[in-house]
Amino acid sequence: MRRVLAIDGGQSAIRLRHSDTSDTVELEGVSRLEGDTLGAVVAAVAEGWRQSGAPATDRAVLGLTTAPTDGPSRRRLCEAVAGGVQTKQVWLADDAVTGHAGALSLDCGISVIAGTGVACLAAPREGTPVIVGGHGYLMGDEGGAFWVGSAGLRAVLKAIDGRGPSTALVAPAERHFDGLDGLGDRIHSSQRPVDTIARFAPDVLATAETGDAVASAITDAAANELASLVRAAADHIATDDGPVLLAVGGRLLQTGPLRARLERLIATASPAVQMRSADGPPLAGALLLGAADHPGRYRDLVYAWESAA
């Protein structure tokens, strides 16, 4: 049986699991803001492998938010990871691929994983899967934790400046950030600002459940963005053969107001789409993918590197 090291690399956390164990190792995530992104990913993967007991590995499978798209960078990353975990095969993909593989157990349909960012992939029964949306925190990832958290913080700062409506978000922001004095400077100066802002998203969603108008409007906007993503993804795999399956995951869509509002929007505007929870997380998808002889339906989206030795 092939021994697989699965890596789910996001901006808030990098998680590793080996096929020989059920234990997950978690380390700090890597953002493109943090200097040598490639080097930071390689170091984190090697450290996570060591914390796992340095298990023998036939293939490492990486699903990364920060996966490079050019050939030379992909090759350098895979070579460095291979050296760090002592394997001869490395498969590299966007985290939308491993997210889909875990959410739908390698089957066709749509996956939407809402973590710090948003990863969506539409896979038809026949043909090439398509990654929809995403585009990173500067230009996209609408409806993800960074997007929700930053909207909540903007509303708080406007409220205390007198430039916006009052909101119950002020109190949780004070608790979460240990006061609001100099908050803008502190966040801009923090080592991991994307993660820092994203971690405020659960407070925004929890405040929406209390009926706060500002937090509720942010949650509605996030649900609308995710529903728009689903509609675009469904257009890529429209079929007369039956309903389109949608599997959702990530910490923002497990339960709570965002999940509930998205369910209502899908039921109303996209009745051909059947929404359910993901079968498993991206780590499970990376393990499933790594156990296969070839990338299958994801072949055009996976960079498969193998040592020439």
Contact 102, 286 (CB under 8 A): yes
Q: What is the pLDDT of residue 33?
A: 60
Tell me the pLDDT tens digit for each residue of 177-219: 988 888 888 888 887 888 889 999 999 999 999 999 999 999 9
Q: How many residues are listed for the chain in this entry?
A: 309
CA distances from 124 to 99, 237, 273, 299 (A): 16, 5, 13, 14
Q: Residue 250 pLDDT > 60, yes or no?
A: yes
pTM score, two decimals? 0.89
Instruction: Give the pLDDT confidence of 225-243 residue by residue, as tens digits.
Output: 999 999 999 888 876 567 8
Q: How confident is the model at residue 111 (pLDDT cuts 50, 70, 90)?
A: very high
Q: Please determine whether the domains at 4-99+282-306 and 106-278 fall in the same fold group of CATH.
A: yes
Task: Tokens 């995710």: give the residue.
Answer: 226
Calculate the average pLDDT of the chain. 89
Query: Mean of the pLDDT values across residues 86-97?
Result: 93
Query: CATH number of 106-278: 3.40.50.1100, 3.30.70.380, 3.30.420.40, 3.40.50.2020?
Result: 3.30.420.40
- Residue 309 clears pLDDT 80, i.e. is over it: no
The CATH class given to the 4-99+282-306 domain equals alpha beta
Q: Show the tokens assigned to 239.
A: 């079929």
Domain boundaries, the chain: 4-99+282-306, 106-278
How would residue 249 be classed by pLDDT, with cut points 50, 70 and 90?
very high
Measuring CA to CA, which residue among 114, 62, 140, 67 is closest to residue 247? 114
Report the alpha-carbon distance of residue 150 to residue 167 in Å, rounded. Answer: 15
